[in-house]
Chains A and B, each alone.
Chain A
């Protein structure tokens, strides 16, 4: 073994100080930086480079991530203008009609671990006009009534109804920076990386910086954003373009103040379909974040601006609208030699279903938990990491495509082109074929690395009005009684939750004032 291959992993250098950089640095430091022989984590961030800050919606996974970082939920909510998110309301996606909407909530369907209610819903409740989400889950009602997913007496990170967050990405990065440097021992350098020094085996030995000299490291994490400084720039890892499946390539983003400071805050992401894309609308404590993501191949920049103006109203004239390019896709590999990319440097997709931050969290978790102790086993970890995340990107692409593929909108080429079989991945086409005769189930998602559970597919599928022909499986549907009990339990759970849970903004204000207890 030569010097390069038997080195222990004692120092990790993170390049880039956005949310991705700080989450990775924090997770590694929280797990490995204890004691004299722990791992030293250094984050280098070029001064004056603004973070892209589009990741403002999270998954419920963020609760675990913050807890693992040793962060108080009350502090996080206060300092990042964060709010609770209980899923997404998709408006106008299926038909574009005035009353067309459905929810993808975060609470699993009633009794999901015991039995699948989807076929029973389809036979008994769907004909009565009851939506799938309302029949099997109480969370849509919480969202419609603007109620929070927990109470003042619920401990930090615990829930009455499963939840994620909406947050101010800029404030979140600063908050994480303070926490990581003050409490987790992460070294923070504000400096610019000029060039990369490598060993014979291709490993990065150090980075040359403008003011801090040579910065060595055993593992380098590329969180440099779209520039992909190390993985794309230095290692020239090819970019896999997914715009053949997902057509969205532009975002127009604007921050909209509330008309009155005590206006209600939506407790879910509102996603409204347009003629060449869709509009996101998320409520933070002090403002909303609104944006139109669209396909420039299906509309003009001027039309897109008009679409956003129509949604936001005349007040938009005084606000600054930012244009962000979206190159849908990801790198062919994410971990090469002793360098791994996390965040935008690894890839980016449109913000539908908030996949950006969850991929950062999953990457940070895998790197922290499986941090190779020595260089000589790093290639094995790298291969596993690449397999895992290639799988996850593919599943996310499939799931996002599902939202478009099931639409019956005929009003624009954008929606019609999205149904072109040539734009549908084989993996998704096969699943949809199976689901014509049975609902999505756990048997369809058997990897340890799944990102969306079968429940999410059910919510989107049946929310979009997909027809599963369950008559072919009628002989299997012999649990009518149990299903009826589950539907009744859900009605009771809905009543209980509506009676017990406070209004969203009211709870946030109380949390700001009193804080939640840790236990």
Chain B
């Protein structure tokens, strides 16, 4: 269980972060929320799709890592096998909470296996000043916070233009097993192509059109995901 507490230069003076084990924390995630500002980097490796937040039912953008619940095909052989790791993975074990005034607050999961006492990156120096590592992580968390808003803007645009459509996807693997993908959504290409005039121009001007096409292009990685799955199945079969 995660135990989130506000980061404190006194309480957490002696804590160190084992950065080598951060990516391992995402080893059994099937997907992770992503933000438009990282779409281009994500599109090198991952399918970017929409799904619904289980708590609110609202659409969010996610990078897809696998087919079955708990399956991450990018985590293999003890390491994250891709050129770019999504920010929501590398920000571990930090989270953005809110203080009593609703202001964002940097929190840490004290129960995270990345939190150590013996070795790893320091968070604070002896005077309680933040380390360069902590500053870098604060930057990442700041980007995630902005990214959440950008993502919400993108979703709002898509919804106003009724461009979101359920993905109907049934995948058959080399092993012969097949899996129906539920709860994933993408952009309706036909409706997108039919856009014209003012709405289209606005999408272009506010930069959302680029994000939309990046999402659509990234869907090709469903095939690389199938390849990864076949390779893993084959490896399991051999073992």
Contact = CB atoms under 8 A, between A and B. Distances in A.
- The answer to whether A and B come from one shared complex is yes
Interface in A486-519: 510-511, 513-517, 519
Given A517-B52, A519-B164, A519-B166, A510 B57 contact: yes
A211 to B, nearest CB: 43
Contact of A515 (B57, B164, B165): B57
A515 B53 CA distance: 12
Interface in A180-210: none
A152 interface: yes
A480 to B, nearest CB: 30
A216 B52 CA distance: 51
Nearest to B57: A152
Interface in B53-78: 53-59
- Which of B54, B57, B58 is the most central at the interface, judged by chain A CB atoms within 10 Å of its CB? B57
B166 A153 contact: no
Interface in B163-184: 164-166, 183
A153 B62 CA distance: 15
Interface centre among B52, B59, B166 (most CB of A within 10 A): B52
Contacts of B52: 152-153, 517
Nearest to B58: A514
Nearest to A514: B56
A510 B164 contact: no
A516 B57 contact: yes
B124 interface: no
Interface of A is mostly: loop
Contact of B54 (A151, A513, A515): A151
Contacts of A153: 52-54, 57, 183
Interface residues of A, number: 11
B185 interface: yes
B116 to A, nearest CB: 35
Contacts of A514: 56-58
B185 A510 contact: no
A505 to B, nearest CB: 15
Given A519-B165, A519-B166, A510 B54 contact: no
Contacts of B59: 517
Interface in B12-66: 52-59
Given A519-B165, A519-B166, A152 B56 contact: yes
Nearest to B51: A153
Interface residues of B, number: 13
A222 to B, nearest CB: 39
Nearest to A154: B57
B31 to A, nearest CB: 13
For A152, A513, A515, A516, the residue with the greatest tally of chain B CB atoms inside 10 Å of its CB is: A152
Given A152-B52, A153-B52, A153-B183, A517 B166 contact: no
A511 B57 CA distance: 9
A151 B183 CA distance: 12
A511 B56 CA distance: 8
A513 B56 CA distance: 8
B221 to A, nearest CB: 23
Interface string B177-198: 0000001010000000000000
Contacts of A152: 52-57
A162 B52 CA distance: 21
A68 B59 CA distance: 25
A515 B56 CA distance: 8
Interface string A127-157: 0000000000000000000000001110000
Contacts of A519: 164-166, 185
Contacts of B164: 519
Contacts of B53: 152-153
Q: Indicate the member of B56, B164, B165 with the most A CB atoms within 10 Å.
A: B56
Nearest to B159: A517
Contacts of B56: 152, 510, 513-514
A287 to B, nearest CB: 26
Contacts of A515: 57
A401 to B, nearest CB: 43
A511 B55 CA distance: 10
A510 B55 contact: yes
A151 B51 CA distance: 14
Contacts of A511: 57
Contacts of B57: 151-153, 510-511, 514-517
29 contacts: A151-B54, A151-B57, A152-B53, A152-B54, A152-B55, A152-B56, A152-B57, A153-B52, A153-B53, A153-B54, A153-B57, A153-B183, A510-B56, A510-B57, A511-B57, A513-B56, A514-B56, A514-B57, A514-B58, A515-B57, A516-B57, A517-B52, A517-B57, A517-B58, A517-B59, A519-B164, A519-B165, A519-B166, A519-B185
Interface of A: 151-153, 510-511, 513-517, 519
Given A151-B57, A152-B56, A510-B55, 20 more contacts: A151-B54, A152-B53, A152-B54, A152-B55, A152-B57, A153-B52, A153-B53, A153-B54, A153-B57, A153-B183, A510-B56, A510-B57, A513-B56, A514-B56, A514-B57, A515-B57, A516-B57, A517-B52, A517-B57, A517-B58
Give the top 10 A-B pairs by smallest Cβ distance, nearest first. Answer: A152-B57, A153-B52, A514-B56, A514-B57, A153-B57, A516-B57, A517-B57, A153-B54, A519-B166, A514-B58
